[in-house]
Chain A
């Protein structure tokens, strides 16, 4: 079945550092890809998405590019802030696999002042 793999956390960075969280996927169809963020004590919030190859999703300084050739959707941000501390989930929706989302295990990011 479909699956999503993310880099192991936790990731600890200093403020203004560059962030990369790797995400790769396995899918039977042609999925749409998403990043969700979970702040402490809160639910899952959509951060960005991409629905086809070479699409770039972006929001709040975060970016991710849908790379079909490497089946990847890595999350990047040029300069992180303390307020970016959260758990980040990569997810896919595969139209050939039904309506449900398949989530990666999540990567906890801690940004230190």
Chain B
């Protein structure tokens, strides 16, 4: 069964450094998402992306964050200048999309654990 893959599985970065988290969504999916989960807390929506542009973003997704689909397969999340509070598990998800998108499950990757020192 096709799956969403994320790399790296664990990223350790110094505070203030830029970090790029990578995701390869399922190949025929059109909608892509990033979520984060601070240790022991709930999964929080960051951003959704469709047709090469952001379709929604949460208040968490400030100017330090950006997303990009640099080629036909990768979907990246960049944090420009990391802060200690950015330490979390970051999940990428994708879904096929279309008229019934509200009924469709999102398929999640295994996540990237980001640790800011």
Contacts and interface: CB of A to CB of B under 8 A. Distances in A.
Interface of A: 31-32, 34, 36, 42-46, 49, 51, 89, 91, 93-95, 98-106
Interface stretch (B14-22, B70-78, B105-113): B105-113
B91 A44 contact: yes
Nearest to B6: A43
Contacts of B6: 43
B108 A99 contact: no
A43 B23 CA distance: 13
A31 B50 CA distance: 21
B84 interface: no
Contacts, number: 66
Contacts of B108: 36, 43-45
Contacts of A94: 102
Interface of B: 4, 6, 31, 33, 35, 41-45, 48, 50, 55-56, 58, 91, 93, 95, 101-111
A100 B33 contact: yes
A34 B103 CA distance: 10
Given A98-B48, A103-B42, A105-B42, A46 B56 contact: no
A100 B45 contact: yes
Contacts of A46: 105, 107
Contacts of B56: 98-100
Contacts of A101: 33, 35, 43, 45, 93, 106
A40 to B, nearest CB: 12
Q: Which of A42, A43, A95, A103 has the most CB of B within 10 A?
A: A43
A44 B43 contact: yes
Contacts of B103: 32, 49, 51, 93
